[in-house]
Structure 1
């Protein structure tokens, strides 16, 4: 006789999110299955749908959580370069979140919590760009492209063997310095 399943779970939502993050980190978001996650959490196959409705809902919750973690990681960065380093550090520390956060085809694009979390993250970057000077729209795209591109290359292992065995954060800081000049806002000439 198979063991009886307990349908009571202390924090099913967190357990499913954690299991999903493990799967994404190991195999990517395409490998996610709510049925498999339910099995991993030891609950009925329908239980995750109670919290997330479907796969897109689960991935949207992961992206929302990721933007919250990213906003916290960006914190009170003192300058644009530091903000970029913190962005790269976040991606390295939270690769599963990072894989999902910027994949709109996987998410519910109109989810209010996701939109608010994404806006907070973008606002932090825009504020840092505006403090740095120059054209805010172009600066925002350039700064985000540099940090996001570097983080993506790092996570996809396209930056293995960094010069002089440097730490990725140190390498990003040097790269950002080549493009933006000295740390901090430009001096009034």
Structure 2
């Protein structure tokens, strides 16, 4: 996608996201990014300084988009927050890939930390604003993160005639419920 005037930073991010979907975040290079965008090889360094800066910008954007998706769950239902997480991950696979590769970004970047904290606050807060039990929040996050990864890796897929949201809702609906055939203690 050759760049033609406008927002070069955004064009570089979009080009990087496409490259990440194709080859993963580790394989991306600023020189290849510039070539794909049709700009000089130095252009990306003016906006991101280096590859780590580029990936930090992508991770920050990803965490912000995830926080927005979680904030859109108006009733703050824990299972529905999980559905929003899975839908985000599967519709933003490049962001999600960078977000789960913390060694590739500047972990102390203020924008990144703020975006991570904002997303974490949604997952870690009960509908009444009280802190969610840490173990419960971790169990829920593990479940939806695992489901997201399995979907992105092609290990599971929604049933024919279904979609990711329905599958995620069926899986997160198990949160806090006894399994069929088991008596709660």
TM-score, with length taken from structure 2? 0.85
Contact 1:39 1:45 in 2 (8 A): yes
**Distance in 1 between residues matched to 2:56 and 2:134, nearest whole Å:** 27
1:25 aligns with 2:21: yes
Per-residue displacement from partner, 1:25-68 (whole Å, max 9, x unpaired)?
11211221100111122221111011111111000000000111
* Structure number having the greater helix percentage: 1
Which one has the largest radius of gyration?
1
Q: CA RMSD for the aligned pairs?
A: 2.4
- Misfit runs of 4+, over 6 Å: 132-135
Match of residue 146 from structure 1: 143
Matches within 5 A, 1:91-130: 91-128=89-126
> How many residues of Structure 1 are paired with residues of Structure 2 in the alignment?
174
What residue number does 2:33 align with?
A: 37
From the superposition, tell whether residues 143 and 127 of structure 1 become closer, same or farther in structure 2 (CA, over 3 Å). same
Alpha carbons of structure 1 residues 164 and 47: separation in structure 2 relative to 1, 3 Å: closer
Q: Which runs of 5+ in 1 are unaligned?
A: 1-6, 183-189
Please, which runs of 5 or more residues in structure 2 have no aligned partner? 179-185
Describe the superposition over 1:59-88 as per-residue Cα deviations: whole angstroms up to 9, x where unpaired: 000000011111111124220111111111
